[in-house]
Amino acid sequence: MSELNVLLRGKALLSEPLLNKGLAFSEAERDAFGLRGLLPRNVETLEEQIDAALSFLDSLSTPLARHVRLREIQDSNETLFYAILERDLERCLPLIYTPTVGEACQKFSQIWQKPRGLFLTYPERDRMEELLADPSLDDVRVIVVTDGERILGLGDQGAGGMGIPIGKLSIYTAAAGIAPEQTLPIMLDTGTNNPELRANPEYIGWKHERVRGAEYDAFIEQFVSAVQKRWPDIILHWEDFAGPNAAPILERYQERLCCFNDDIQGTAAVTTGAILAANHARKGRLRDHTVVMLGSGSAGVGVARLMYRVMRDEGASEEEARGRFYMLDKDGLLTTNRTDLDDGQKLFARSDWQDPATDFETVVKRVRPSILIGVSGVAGLFSEAIVRDMAQHCERPIIFPLSNPTSHSEATPADLMTWTDGRALVSTGSPFPPLKRDGKTHRIDQTNNAYIFPGLSLGIRASGATRATEGMFMAAARGLAAISPLKDDPDGNLLPPVTEMRRVAFAVAEAVASQARKDGVCPHAAEGDLREKIESFIWKPEYRAYRKG
């Protein structure tokens, strides 16, 4: 590996997380960069630093304490942080993201220590271009942005929602090798409607009710325009926007720049990929399933739309494909006689429902679904009676309680397997411990968007795509299904283990890049080996030798 020219020295070098090596600076580097006296005498290797960091994590008593420690390492030495994740992503993923990131967002004002990313606040909206112009951001290629209004299942966390973009971008680097300096987390602080936050003297955000309506729309437009001007080829990832804003924002901007909403499209792709994996194992078609979806917000509609697209691709008519879905919200089944539905919900509203009862239990009993998906945000809604009724009519019921964090899951895997006599194909939204059945230990699949968005963006970068098309998300789902362990082992999992996230990201990237070329959204893409192109974009957490610049 070639040497790196470095201009910083002394404390300035040690304060730059992208360059700091801690005790791994060599004797020669300590002399060359004025580090004598600033560092203890010992010189360590990166492997020794990883060992020490993981040992200290084990000594901490709570997941939040481990989350804070990992964030401290990230803010001081990014190479070490990502080397730790590369060594043990299975242990670290629940700490840097769900479920621990939910608590971290709730306590963000108390644990925030060092700047990371940008807080773009409504009162400072006229300075947006100035704030984005920082030369240190010249190499940014991927932005994750939130306004903090709908954080996981926890609601409005205001500025504390910044924990989500930070966590997501950590996964971009850990799973897909997107270089850390090419990522930027952004918090759009338009106030908060959480009265506890506004009344909290420690709250670090703008203590004001949320800006709504035309003022909010203008602020989002100002942000997108400034981003486009600063980075014309950016990948913009919308995250955890509330339902009334999420889909309209995506629809407004998806043809203007390369952007996607992970809650809508990423969730759809990973869910569809896991279901396609189940179908491959059974040699079945998605169009032959009956789907009951509990939760019909932007995530639920996004999942249904992509599954509908796959059914149409399998040859189902528009009417036949729509007829396979029964979607419910807190008021019951979506029907055409309801006046409170948005455009996405109307696509799946039933016109043929005659029963006056539209509750969840009644729907399951009547339609006998083979797929049950929960995106309700409410724990325990998949009751024993409902699941047992479903299992009576389906040999291998596919049941996905996807709400997170863990405390909001519609059911636990242990209960689902008990109620179906071990026949269910289960995947959850948050991590659960392995189950023991029939003397064997079974890993619980987690339908985590991390199986999709890192590879998606890697594929976009490798292909030079200027848009994220629906076809690319369908390709991502199929790319994920193609490497399902269940294909080769009838007792295998639907999804690969977290330890294989790099392999997953590469497979998804290949599928997405290939589809992008087919969809004609990468006009400047050079022909050639996609694998070689993808590999050229992958950053690895390794220390380089420094020389004085």
Distance, CA of 446 to CA of 431 (rounded, Å) = 6
SS3 label, residue 438: coil
Q: Which residue has the tokens 């796959």?
A: 310
Handedness of CA 133, 137, 140, 146 (dihedral sign): negative
Q: Which two tokens stand for residue 158?
A: 């205001």
- Binding-site residues sit at 150, 239-240, 263, 404, 448
- DSSP secondary structure string for all residues of 375-404: -SS-TT-S-HHHHHHHHHS-SS-EEEE--S
Cβ atoms of 66 and 35 closer than 8 Å: no
- Binding-site residues for a divalent metal cation sit at 239-240, 263
Helices H, strands E: what count in the chain?
24, 16
Please identify which of the residues 97, 216, 308, 543 carries the catalytic annotation. 97
Homologous superfamily of domain range 49-256: Malic enzyme, N-terminal domain (3.40.50.10380)
Cβ atoms of 477 and 276 closer than 8 Å: yes
Global pTM reads 0.93
pLDDT in the model for residue 488: 84
Handedness of CA 261, 264, 267, 272 (dihedral sign): negative
- Binding-site residues for (S)-malate sit at 150, 404, 448
How many Cβ atoms from other residues are within 10 Å of residue 20's Cβ?
A: 18
pLDDT in the model for residue 159: 98
pLDDT in the model for residue 331: 94
For the chain, domain boundaries? 4-44, 49-256, 265-449, 451-525
If the chain, 549 residues long, is cut into consecutive pieces of 10 residues, what is the mean pLDDT of each piece?
91 97 97 97 97 98 98 98 97 93 96 95 97 96 97 93 98 97 98 97 97 98 98 97 93 97 95 92 84 94 96 95 96 95 93 93 96 94 96 94 90 96 93 87 93 97 95 97 90 93 96 94 76 91 94
Q: Do domains 49-256 and 265-449 have the same CATH topology?
A: yes
Distance, CA of 483 to CA of 445 (rounded, Å) = 14
Closest CA to 497 of 434, 416, 403: 434
List Cα–Cα distances, 63 to 85, 87, 101, 430, in angstroms: 15, 18, 9, 14
Distance, CA of 326 to CA of 350 (rounded, Å) = 7
CATH fold for the domain made of 4-44: Hemocyanin, N-terminal domain (1.20.1370)
SS3 label, residue 446: strand
What are the backbone angles phi and psi of residue 109, rounded to the nearest 5°?
-65, -30
Does 97 participate in catalysis according to the annotation?
yes
Does 168 participate in catalysis according to the annotation?
yes
List Cα–Cα distances, 166 to 25, 105, 247, 384, in angstroms: 27, 11, 22, 38
CATH of domain 265-449: 3.40.50.720
Please identify which of the residues 21, 168, 326, 451 carries the catalytic annotation. 168
Q: In the 8-state DSSP scheme, what is residue 265?
A: I
